[in-house]
Structures are given as structure tokens and as C-alpha cells.
Amino acid sequence: MMTRTFLILSLVAAASFWTFGEPLQKASEAIAAPEETREVAPPISELKRSAESGDALGQNNLAYRYTYGKGVPQDYQEAAKWYTAAAAQGLPAAQYNLGTLYEFGEGVPMDYGKAVSEYRAAAEHGQVLAQSRLGLMYERGLGVSKNLAEAMKWDRSAAEQGDAFAQYNLAHGYYAGHGVARDYREAARWYRKAAEQGLAEAQNNLAALYYYGLGQERDYGQALYWYRKAADQGLSEAESNLGVMYEDGSGVEIDYQQAAKWYRAAAEKGDGTGQFELAGLYMAGKGVPLDYVSAYVWYSVASSGDNLSARQLKNLKRLMTPRQLREAQARLSARQEQGGDSAKSEDARLGVAQPFNSR
């Protein structure tokens, strides 16, 4: 059975609001962060007095409260008003936050050009999240002409300040030769920095470089270590890659049950590789009972994303009885009615490019 390992080569974008050094996700996916350097956050009345008196920090923090509905009703327009006031005074945090509102159209009309302008103002004052975001805008050509060299310049600025997403994007640039000369050793160095901060996609890609011996000596043990780190965070590509290592016996004893376990974990998240490989194990009876019906279901789910699985499905049908075919089709219909997905789109998950088959 053909097995395949995926190397994710896509940019990871995490839009963040910033207050006093603690990054958040975008407004719709907020996580908690301190608003003040002191232990107890000030009451809203105090923040309003501070903001209305013209204090830029007070304006930014009041805007933060409105962004997330902390002590006030959530109100992006009010947040935009106060971020604008603070940004006009040159506060980098507010400039970055206002840029984020413009990029995502929260409380203001979506305007990539204005987002870039605010990001640039903050980035030029060393605001690390703005540098990272500005790099991504150049990479995608949003609000500016696409310019990979400029993207890498800003990613490097943020990466050198320790931003994991920028480190990952810089590594991608070195791997693919986008905006910088291709250099696998540098790619591995920056993937490692992001991986050590816990970024699952970086952990997976570092593992893949170890697996293929790119930029460093081939080391299946290190590949297994980093794939497992990413898989333990639920990254489906890493789960599929672990399955490949257990099925092929790369750095470990061949263990079809472990392969099936990891393929299933990926498959149930909609990962086309995991679906295809799990189907193959069912078809061969390796690590799971021989089960043409289950193989049919998984090949069918994966086939919308892979012509190879469609061909395997055609071969499988020749081995199945009419009763097995009816059962498989019934199970597939039930799955579809329940909202079971086909091979997922990485473009939807990561927002940039699908990973490619590197084997």
C-alpha cells in the first residue's frame, strides 16, 4: 500500500489584539489577557475618565474592554473610536489593534489599505505583532502589492523578537525560497524556534525536515519526537505522519495498530491522508479487522480530495459482494446526512495554501 507523508508549507496567521504585551486571538476568538501592569484592573469609570482626559494608554485599554465586552457591552464601534484616539497619539499597541479592526472589518469598514497603514506605523516602532502581521499582508498582497522580500523583512523583524508565527513564516520562506534564497538549514533553525514555543505546525515541519534529512542529518528519532509533539496537540497532518512512521517502521518497530490509531485520529478530523491510509489498513486487515465496508466508506470520504483514493475505491468494489456494497453505501449516506466531512481544505484551516504531497 502506498503511504504518503505531508509537509505543511503554509503560513500561519494569528490576528491578535495587544494591550500590555499579552497577545490575544482576534475578537471572535478572544482569550484572557492582562489589561494593566498592576494586579487589579481599574474600574470602567476610572478608565473612561483617563480616556476622556486624553491619556493614550487609558484610551487603548478602554477600547480593549469594548472589544471583548469586559465590564461594558461589547461594542466594536466604540472600541474603534478609542483605538483611533490612542493611535493618533502614536501608541503602537493602539495602532496595531486599530489595524486589526480594519483588516477584519470589526466596528469599521474592512479596509486593507488602512490596516497596512496602522500596522506599518506600529511595526516601525518595534511592535512585534504588527511586524508579523505586516509581513503577512505583503505575502498575501492585501492592501499592498505582493512583495515576498518585504514580507520576509518584516517576518524577520518579528521573528528576532521571538514571535512564533513570524518564525514559522520565515522558515517557510527559507524552505520554499520565497523572498529569500532557499536554505534548508535556515528553515530548520527557524522552524525549531517556533516549534520550541509549541507551534504545532512548526513541530510537524521540523519533523518532516528530520524525516527527509533536509538542512540537518536524517534522524527518524527526532522526526518521531516532533511529529508526536504536534500530534499531541491534535494537528491532523502530524497524526497522519505518525501513522506513516508506525506503518513503515521508520525509527520504530512496525506497529499497524498504532498506525491505525493515528490515521483514525487524523481521518476523524477530515484529513484526507488519514482517511486514505485508514481505508488501506481496513482493506488489507492490518492493525484492524479486514473490513471492506469500512474501507469503502473511508475511501469514499477521501476520494473527493484525492484521485488515487478514487482508483482504490474502484479496485475495492471488485472484491465486495452486493450486500457489502449496499451496507457501505448506506453507511456512507448516513454519514453524509450527519454532516460527516470529506477531505478537509487546509486553505480553510490555515488561510493560505494547502500542504502538498512530498512523497
Mean pLDDT of the 288-297 span = 96
Query: Residue 7: helix, strand or coil by DSSP?
Result: strand
Confidence grade of residue 137 (pLDDT, cut at 50, 70, 90): very high
Mean pLDDT of the 299-306 span = 76
Least confident of 20-29, 99-108, 114-123, 266-275: 20-29
| Cβ atoms < 10 Å from Cβ of 286 | 16
What pLDDT is attached to residue 341? 55
Q: Residues 194, 7: contact at Cβ < 8 Å?
A: no
Comparing 73 with 305, the larger pLDDT belongs to: 73
What pLDDT is attached to residue 6? 38
Comparing 135 with 353, the larger pLDDT belongs to: 135
| Cβ atoms < 10 Å from Cβ of 99 | 32
What pLDDT is attached to residue 275? 93
Q: What values do phi and psi take at 19, rounded to 5?
A: -120, -85
pLDDT at residue 123 tops 90: yes
Q: How many angstroms separate the CA atoms of 98 and 93, rounded?
A: 9
What pLDDT is attached to residue 19? 32
Residues contacting 323, CB < 8 A, separation 6+: none
What percent of the chain clears pLDDT 90, i.e. is strictly above it? 77
Q: Residues 218, 195: contact at Cβ < 8 Å?
A: no
Closest CA to 67 of 38, 31, 39: 31
Q: CB under 8 Å, gap of 24 or more: what pairs does 258-264 form? A: 258/287, 259/286, 259/287, 260/286, 260/287, 260/288, 262/231, 263/239
pLDDT at residue 13 tops 50: no
pLDDT at residue 17 tops 50: no
Confidence grade of residue 209 (pLDDT, cut at 50, 70, 90): very high
pTM of the predicted model as reported, rounded to 2 decimal places: 0.82
Distance of CA 203 to the CA centre of its chain: 12
What pLDDT is attached to residue 306? 59
What pLDDT is attached to residue 309? 77
